[in-house]
Amino acid sequence: MTAPSLPLVVVTGGAGFIGSHTVDRLIESGHRVVVLDNFSTGKRANLARWATDDRLRIEVCDVSHGIFAALAPVTAALGPVERIVHLAAQVSVVHSVANPLVDMQVNYGGTLHVLEYARATGVKKVVFASSAAVYGDVTEMPVPEDIKCAPVSPYGIDKLASELALDYYAVVHAVPATWLRFFNVFGPRQDPSSPYSGVISIFSDRARAGKGLTIFGDGGQTRDFVYVGDVVSAIAAALRDGNSRVVANVGTGREISVLELARTIVELCAGSSAITHAPARAGEILKSRARVDRLRDVLGVVATTSLVDGLRATLG
């Protein structure tokens, strides 16, 4: 890796869906990037475009076991880590309901390991991928950041606990941090292969193949689907932002029901996939829509990609 004057940024989970798009943007905008990924869901293919580029270094590392050992040889060669984007996580709400201890170890434990590294080495900024799942079932819509959080899943609890840890490290150990509450992120490279995958990746994959779509519940539940390119803009802005302890929703401010989403995807595929229903999943929220004033006013980001444009890019 050359060009030592370029700022060095660590992206945990950098081989994953949101992570690999983040890596693309950071390298394109003049950074050197170190990806930490255990490749449990991440893929080297997502980073293939940088395979021979010395601005990217990839270290196999499970953040829930600590990051000091993986980063020691990197920093010995390249100098200190300036900033960290912490995305590595177990991303499924449903999985967390079935496996709360795993969720806590990976999602909360992983965050503590990142924070310990940041504290010990004087990292200038940590940007953390939190989630709309911290809110639980709220009555105020669109949901503002300062509403009382009442998560209804281990996933939401662990993301909220991570936020509290970030706040604690910011106040007590002067580790500057921003935590972004992602709503439902979608786009190219989202892996449809697991039953826990994001609904758009599953529906797109099946509709393209003319297979049926299964809706959990009556399909009246809503989500605020935000395109990955807009999410990366929020991450990049948070990395640059000189403020600490900022929390911001990352969504569009619009919601769509899962039933309407299914119909839209089938229509875009010009297909005839049947839409059927199965029982609703435990631990899920019913309605979700972001208030986005803070994203715009503090970070200067507006999620401009329409759902249909984003779906077209996803469907390829």
Residue 215 binding ligand UD2, by CB under 6 A: yes
Residue 202 binding ligand UD2, by CB under 6 A: yes
Residue 260 binding ligand UD2, by CB under 6 A: no
DSSP lists the bridge partners of residue 257 as: 222
- Measured from the CB of residue 199, what is the shortest distance to ligand UD2 in angstroms? 3
- Measured from the CB of residue 220, what is the shortest distance to ligand UD2 in angstroms? 10
Quote the distance between the C-alpha of residue 166 and its chain's center.
16
- Measured from the CB of residue 48, what is the shortest distance to ligand UD2 in angstroms? 23
Interacting residues with ligand UD2 between 89 and 118 (CB under 6 A): 91-93
Binding footprint of ligand UD2, residue count (CB under 6 A) = 22
Interacting residues with ligand UD2 between 138 and 167 (CB under 6 A): none
Residue 55 binding ligand UD2, by CB under 6 A: no
- Measured from the CB of residue 233, what is the shortest distance to ligand UD2 in angstroms? 18
Of the pair 169, 183, the CB lying nearest ligand UD2 is at: 183
Residue 199 binding ligand UD2, by CB under 6 A: yes
Nearest 5°: CA angle at 98, between 94 and 103? 80
- Give the DSSP H/E element, type plus range, for residue 33: strand 32-37
Interacting residues with ligand UD2 between 284 and 303 (CB under 6 A): 284, 288
Distance CA 225, CA 217 (A): 19
* Residue 133: φ, ψ to 5°: -65, -15
Task: Report which of 98, 114, 236 is spatially closest to residue 154, judged by C-alpha positions.
Answer: 98
Contacts of 137 (CB under 8 A, 6+ apart): 150, 152, 285, 286, 287
125 class by beta-carbon count within 10 Å (0-12 exposed, 13-18 middle, 19+ buried): buried
* Tokens at 190, concatenated: 């989202």
Task: Report which of 165, 295, 159, 158 is spatially closest to residue 224, judged by C-alpha positions.
Answer: 295
Q: Are 224 and 251 in contact (CB under 8 A)?
A: yes
Residue 281 binding ligand UD2, by CB under 6 A: yes
Rounded to whole angstroms, what are the CA distances from 178 to 35, 181, 244? Answer: 19, 10, 6
Q: Are 219 and 283 in contact (CB under 8 A)?
A: no
Residue 258 binding ligand UD2, by CB under 6 A: yes
Q: Which of 117, 135, 155, 169 is catalytic?
A: 155
Selected binder of ligand UD2 within 133, 149, 180, 232 (CB under 6 A): 133
Distance CA 83, CA 194 (A): 31
How does DSSP classify residue 48? G
Residue 214 binding ligand UD2, by CB under 6 A: yes
Of the pair 52, 146, the CB lying nearest ligand UD2 is at: 146
Of the pair 9, 258, the CB lying nearest ligand UD2 is at: 258
- Could you give the 3-state DSSP secondary structure of residue 165? helix
Residue 184 binding ligand UD2, by CB under 6 A: yes
- Measured from the CB of residue 221, what is the shortest distance to ligand UD2 in angstroms? 4
Residue 182 binding ligand UD2, by CB under 6 A: yes
Of the pair 176, 198, the CB lying nearest ligand UD2 is at: 198
* Residue 125: φ, ψ to 5°: -160, 135
- Measured from the CB of residue 44, what is the shortest distance to ligand UD2 in angstroms? 21
| 155 catalytic per annotation | yes
The residues assigned a catalytic role are 155
Q: Which parts of this chain interact with ligand UD2 (CB under 6 A)?
A: 91-93, 131-133, 182-184, 197-199, 202, 214-216, 221, 223, 258, 281, 284, 288
